Structures are given as structure tokens and as C-alpha cells.
Amino acid sequence: MKKKTNKRKKNLWAGRFNETPSDHMSILNASINFDKKLYEADIEASICHAEMLAGQNIIKTKEYEEIRKGLLQVKKEIKNNKIIFKNELEDIHTHIETRLIEIIGSIGKKLHTARSRNDQVATATKIWAREQCKEIDGLLKTLQESLLNKAKKHIGDVMPGLTHMQPAQPILLSHHLLAYVNMFGRDRENYSSLRRHNFSPLGSAALAGTTFNINRQETANKLGFEGVMRNSLDAVSDRDFILDILNLCSLIFMHLSRLSEEIILWSSPGFNFIKLSDKYSTGSSIMPQKKNPDAAELIRGKSGRIIGNYVSVFNVMKGLPLAYSKDMQEDKEPLFDSLETTKICLLVMIGMIDSIKFIPENMRLMCSLGFLNATDMADWFVEELNVPFRDAHKLTGNIVKMAELKNLPLEKLSLKDLKKYHSKISKKIYAILDIESSIRNKISEGGTSPLNVKREIILAEEKWLK
């Protein structure tokens, strides 16, 4: 008998090969270090596939039972770290199948009838990602709840609303917090729309379908899909669901990073609007007084790689011919990273919001800077004196100029001074210049009036927290 020159174990596809891959090729080729995460989803899909094969008389029921038992043992072994992963076995799918054959012998070789790793990997990734996204939706809900709780607690507290980071108009803190409830609400709607991807690729085999009389509807139903993907080429080539998930994460992070930025600003002594819990801050190794908002900074920083992950998979997919190409293995690390990072950052943000202490006195104090009531004054000229808004704007601008020179807020200007700008100005104007009236009068739908905000809290609770 001819002596084997290559001692390495042969791959599952070794039939047409004389040599095994080089060590360097094995390193490049292997995805096991990251796709091992998929083992439960892969085994679940494999058991379903084998059961269907038995139901269709493609394998015997007894064989299915053997396969099922074997796969459950493989699952246990992986869970208990009993299986040593090897680069030469490439990915989690091959590891599971190889181990199954080791355990139950050649019946295990029947599992791969009427399927390919191409439909297998798409199916397992979908099942796995579906669960992860559901968790993320739950965390978004909790974050909305935390924000709503703070909004309720601070229902009447005021703060300066800024545009261009400059004083603009007074608003309710609760109104500001509700803006984020809405933003994370859109993320949750984005999550719901992922449902359109919940169709099964399994049974598309390599690209063309299969000669076997399989029942795709059955595996789809049992695996929690709404139906089957209608084109076998599309089914094995599609990674739109991954791009949509990465986009979902990117939008979540765009929102999280904006909230983080505000937390960072609000916690700096210049603002001093909030006190962060020690649990979400760190100190400096040299400056003893420091308390840094690291959690918020990290979340803001991580948004870079989350958006990067989206761009990365987009670039992998664009221009790929149908059907499967190995490029597509590059979908996993970005997907795994984005989902994990999103989960941990949402958990931290929830903790940070729950433990934040707002300092309403300081927010109110800052409302006295920067003529936040100037627009109210202009509106008063329009309503009371019938001045066209453009002229009212100019008139108020001139008054602000004077107030700045006198170093006084608008409400402290004397009626005599005001009358210099318009003879009909009466003392009634002072009634609309205080912060409370300014806010109370913003009665337009979606505005910051307490009436609106209270109603929006109730609506938001009904819509998002049921």
C-alpha cells in the first residue's frame, strides 16, 4: 500500500484533492474562531433538516434519530468546551458535521444530503441574528422606559434649548428626554421591519436547489420563518438582512452617540446639569479632582466602528456575482461585533440614565443667559401690535442689542426703554417674558408646553411600553 505523505486529516471535500491546504491558507480560510457562535443555530437547523429528510423518506427515521442524538451530543460538547477547534476544519458547520460522523459513524454522512454549506450558513446566521436583534429591541424598550421615568420625575423642570450650541429657547427637560424616546422608537420600528427578511434559505442547497424531494416549507415553519425564499440563487447570495441589521445598529449608535455627547457636555462643570454615578465614570491617574464621563465617551467612540462595520459589509457585497463567493464569509465579524457592541452599550446607557442625577437649579440658572425669551417677545409684537413677523424680528433684534449693552436680560429692561422701539409696547409684555410663560405658550402640537409633554408621555408609554 502507498504510504500517505500528508499526515493531516483530509477535509470533507477531499475526494478531488491530492493535497491539503497550506498552513497559511488554513489561517486565511478559517472562520471557526468567530463563527463558533453559530453552533446552536446550526445544530437546530441541522436537526430540522434531518427530520424533514426522514419525513420525505430520503433517510430512514432511525437514521434521523441517530443523527439527532449525535447532534445533541455535539451541542453539549461544544457548550462544555470539549471540542478543540482546528483551522483546517474551517468553520463551525464542518466541525459539527465532522464530530457527528466521529460519534455516530457513517450515518452522520447522510446529514448533508440535499443541502450545502451555502444555504446552511445563511440559515444559521439568520436564526442567530434574529435572536440577537430581539434582545436589542428589548434593550431599546428598557432604555425608553428609563428615559420616560426621568421625564416623569422632572416633568416641570426647565432647561435652555440650544441650536448651534447657542442659547435658543427654554424647553422642558422632559421634552428633551422624550425626543430620545422617539429616536429609539424609530430604531424599534426599524427592528420590526426586519421581519421582511424572515424567510428561509434552507433547501436552496449550493445555488440551484436539489434533485431530492425535500419539503422546504416544513423546515421553514419549524425554524420560525414565515416562509421560504423563492429563488435558490438569491437565497444563498443574499446578505441584505445583515446589511439591514448593521444599518439598524448604526442608527441606534447615531442616536446613542448624540445622547452621549449631551451627557458629556451636561456633566462638565461649565454646564453642571447632571451628576453621573461613579459606576459610569472613571478618574485620572494624575489629576485627583477628575471624574470623567468615560462610559458616554466610549459609546460615542464606538459609533465609529459600528458605522464602519456597515460600510465594510456593504463593500464586500457590492459587485459580487451570484451565487455564493467566499468573500461573503467576511460578513460575520462585523455582524457579530456590531450586535455585541450594541447590546453592551445599550446596557451601559440604561444604567447611566437610571443613575443620572439632574440638577434642575443649574439648568434654570442657565436659562437666564442668552436672551432665550427673544422669540417670545417677537411673537408678542405680532400678536398684540399686529407687527409683521419679519419686522418684529428686527425690532426685537434691536432691543436685544440694547439689552446686551446694558448687560440686562430682556425682562429687566424698563418700559420706558422698550417704548423707544415701539410706542405701543405696554407692560403686558412682561407677562410673556418669564421662562414659565415662554414654555407654557408653546402649545403647538409636538411643542414643549407642559400640557403637550404630559400628553406625549402617556402616548409614548402606550405606544412603546405595553
- Show the cell assigned to 219: 423546515
Site string for ligand ARG, 175-214 (x = CB under 6 A): ----------------------------------------
Tell me if residue 267 is catalytic: no
| 329 or 452: CB nearest ligand ARG | 329
Tell me if residue 257 is catalytic: no
| 115 or 130: CB nearest ligand ARG | 115
Q: Which of residues 331-370 bind ligand ARG (CB under 6 A)?
A: none
Residue 273 near ligand ARG by CB under 6 A: no
Residue 232 near ligand ARG by CB under 6 A: no
- Number of residues lying near ligand ARG (CB under 6 A): 10
Cα–Cα distance for residue pair 237/311, rounded to 1 Å: 18
**Whether 276 contacts 353, CB under 8 Å:** no
Q: Which of residues 242-271 bind ligand ARG (CB under 6 A)?
A: none
| 143 or 328: CB nearest ligand ARG | 328
335: number of Cβ within 10 Å: 26
171 by Cβ neighbours in 10 Å (0-12 / 13-18 / 19+) ranks as buried
| 201 or 450: CB nearest ligand ARG | 201
Residue 172, classed as helix, strand or coil, is strand
Choosing from 106, 164, 285, 444, the catalytic residue is 164
Site string for ligand ARG, 8-47 (x = CB under 6 A): -----------------------x---x------------
Q: Which of 71, 89, 121, 147 binds ligand ARG (CB under 6 A)?
A: 121
- Show the cell assigned to 269: 462643570
In degrees rounded to 5, what are phi and psi of residue 37? -55, -25
How near is the Cβ of 92 to ligand ARG at its closest, in Å? 8
Q: Which of 98, 118, 232, 303 binds ligand ARG (CB under 6 A)?
A: 118
461: number of Cβ within 10 Å: 15
Cα–Cα distance for residue pair 232/215, rounded to 1 Å: 14
Choosing from 22, 277, 284, 325, the catalytic residue is 284
How near is the Cβ of 50 to ligand ARG at its closest, in Å? 19
Residue 328 near ligand ARG by CB under 6 A: yes
- Show the cell assigned to 350: 440604561
Q: Which of residues 124-153 bind ligand ARG (CB under 6 A)?
A: none
Residue 117 near ligand ARG by CB under 6 A: yes
| 315 or 398: CB nearest ligand ARG | 315
Only segment of 117-125, 152-160, 361-369, 409-417 that touches ligand ARG (CB under 6 A): 117-125
Cα–Cα distance for residue pair 227/247, rounded to 1 Å: 24
| 34 or 421: CB nearest ligand ARG | 34
How near is the Cβ of 329 to ligand ARG at its closest, in Å? 4
| 31 or 267: CB nearest ligand ARG | 31
| 117 or 300: CB nearest ligand ARG | 117
Only segment of 114-122, 304-312, 377-385, 394-402 that touches ligand ARG (CB under 6 A): 114-122
Only segment of 113-121, 207-215, 266-274, 285-293 that touches ligand ARG (CB under 6 A): 113-121
Residue 329 near ligand ARG by CB under 6 A: yes
| CA atoms within 13 A of residue 370's CA, in its CB half-sphere | 17
Q: Which of residues 65-94 bind ligand ARG (CB under 6 A)?
A: 91
Cα–Cα distance for residue pair 204/237, rounded to 1 Å: 10
The Cα-based distances of 291 to 241, 275, 360, 361 in angstroms read 41, 10, 20, 21
Q: Which of residues 307-326 bind ligand ARG (CB under 6 A)?
A: 324, 326
In degrees rounded to 5, what are phi and psi of residue 278? -55, -25
Active site residues: 164, 284
Residues found near ligand ARG in the complex (CB under 6 A): 31, 35, 91, 117-118, 121, 324, 326, 328-329
